[in-house]
Structure 1
Amino acid sequence: MANSSTNGGSTRKARKPFELIAGNAALDLVNTLDWRFREEPPPEELLRDYDDLAYFSAQSGLISDALARRLIRNVSESKAAHVVVAVRELREAAALVLYAALDGDEVPGSAVASLERNFKRARDSQRLQKVAGKLDWEFSQGNSLPELPLWLLSLRAAELVTSDEMERVRACGNAECRWLFLDTSKNHTRRWCDMKICGNRMKARRFKAQHRG
């Protein structure tokens, strides 16, 4: 998980890496609201500033470490705050769609509209260009715009929810956690976000319940 810091190239505290357990950047984005279903204490926000967002994007393989540092160095305080808010809104729209699909609930139209809006903005920022001898989608204004993490995550979210991989999306069996992940296990029986974390917690909880009294 990441630690808080300031923008603008100032000295930053060492950051603990994000726990990317999902196998998909869009799912890992949803998981950046930790303990989403916990009542007390409230859920924990892991995308606390633009630095967190840039480093999350780099750790997810969406951008390079060097580009993450450049984005942090060049973004203004107001723009950084705006982009972080937009990414959180994208995250919550994706969460509504994904958890509704998992739980068999009706997908909120507002969430679908939000995903569509973000996807269209990302696509509108791209142009088909010749790169290394072949055509590919590139962002028309280069890779140094502060919105780049938002656009890339929007594209990943839209790609996921319209793909067959939706059939493999699962939620952690810990009801307070419910981190999302792609179940790539051989028998499709994965239950926990991370066995070392929630799996052991739930085992300990069952053991106490069985031996209580």
Structure 2
Amino acid sequence: MSETNPYMMVGERLCMDFINTVSWRESTDKRRDWFTNYAELADWCVHAGVLTGRQAETLLAGAEETPAEAEAVLKQAIDMRETMYRIFKSVAQETSPHTTDLKRFNESVSRFYRTLQVIHENETGRFALKFGHAEHNLNAMLAPILQSAVELLVSSSDLTRVKQCEGDPCGWLFLDTSRNRSRRWCSMADCGNRAKARRFHQKGK
């Protein structure tokens, strides 16, 4: 990760990028969680376009006033992310998700979707779904991420394009938007190049 681009966003969907906020996810010694505190969660959400800078500042001020609540929201975000990871990994592997994971995912759906509203956008004249979740709630950023996951899960065409990076032990998930569904890596510049170098080294032997 460079300083100018601290986050890799290669999942092609918000929920995929959220799931990928763990580096070397399936490694026992190299694994690193990007969210070790609430401020890091808020910063990623600004980068992902979930929050504006001003919204993040408001939430961070609230987090300073109620650190225990901020810690609880961080745990909620990580729990939701890991549940989503296991569900979408099962999709990539064409297996059935665990019933416990679906139950936990639906608990999140029930928590946030009770605030969902249909609004009319005057600028476009269209109707849209919007969460009525108050912006000052410390977990406000989780609703659109959850909505992204729900929309992907119920999309029969896009769901079949969910894949897991073949670079071991990367573990990242992504939506293969290539025309011939040939994408194999989270990033050709990352895991793809490592695999290429490995093949070249083995060929040299």
- Deviation at 1:16? 5.4
Equivalent residue in structure 2 for 1:125, among 90, 115, 123: 115
Q: Bigger relative contact order, structure 1 or 2, given CA contacts below 8 A and separation 6+?
A: 2
Tell me the TM-score normalized by structure 1. Answer: 0.84
Q: Which residue matches 1:11?
A: none
On the 8 A contact 2:22/2:34 being kept in 1, the answer is: yes
Secondary structure of residue in 2 paired with 1:146: coil
Structure 1 pair 15/130, CA: closer, same or farther in 2 (3 Å)? same
What is the one-letter code of the residue matched to 2:51? I
- Deviation at 1:186? 2.4
Q: Distance in 1 between matches of 2:182 and 2:119?
A: 42
Matches within 5 A, 1:132-211: 132=122, 136-140=128-132, 142-164=134-156, 165-211=158-204
Equivalent residue in structure 2 for 1:23, among 12, 20, 24: 12
- The runs of 5 or more residues in structure 1 that have no matched partner are 3-13
Secondary structure of residue in 2 paired with 1:154: helix
Query: Aligned Cα RMSD in Å?
Result: 2.2
Q: Distance in 2 between matches of 1:31 and 1:131?
A: 32
- Deviation at 1:113? 0.9
Q: Which residue matches 1:61?
A: 49
- Deviation at 1:169? 1.1
On the 8 A contact 2:112/2:133 being kept in 1, the answer is: no
How many aligned positions are there? 200
Tell me the TM-score normalized by structure 2. Answer: 0.87
- Aligned-residue identity in percent: 25
Task: Give per-residue Cα distances to partners, 1:86-129, cap 9 Å, x unaligned.
Answer: 11111111111111121122210011111111011111233445
Structure 1 stretches of 4+ with a deviation exceeding 6 A read none
Q: Distance in 2 between matches of 1:104 and 1:85?
A: 29
What is the one-letter code of the residue matched to 1:101? V
Matches within 5 A, 1:55-94: 55-75=43-63, 76-94=66-84
Structure 1 pair 74/15, CA: closer, same or farther in 2 (3 Å)? farther
Task: Give per-residue Cα distances to partners, 1:18-47, cap 9 Å, x unaligned.
Answer: 1111111111111112211123x1411011
Secondary structure of residue in 2 paired with 1:148: coil
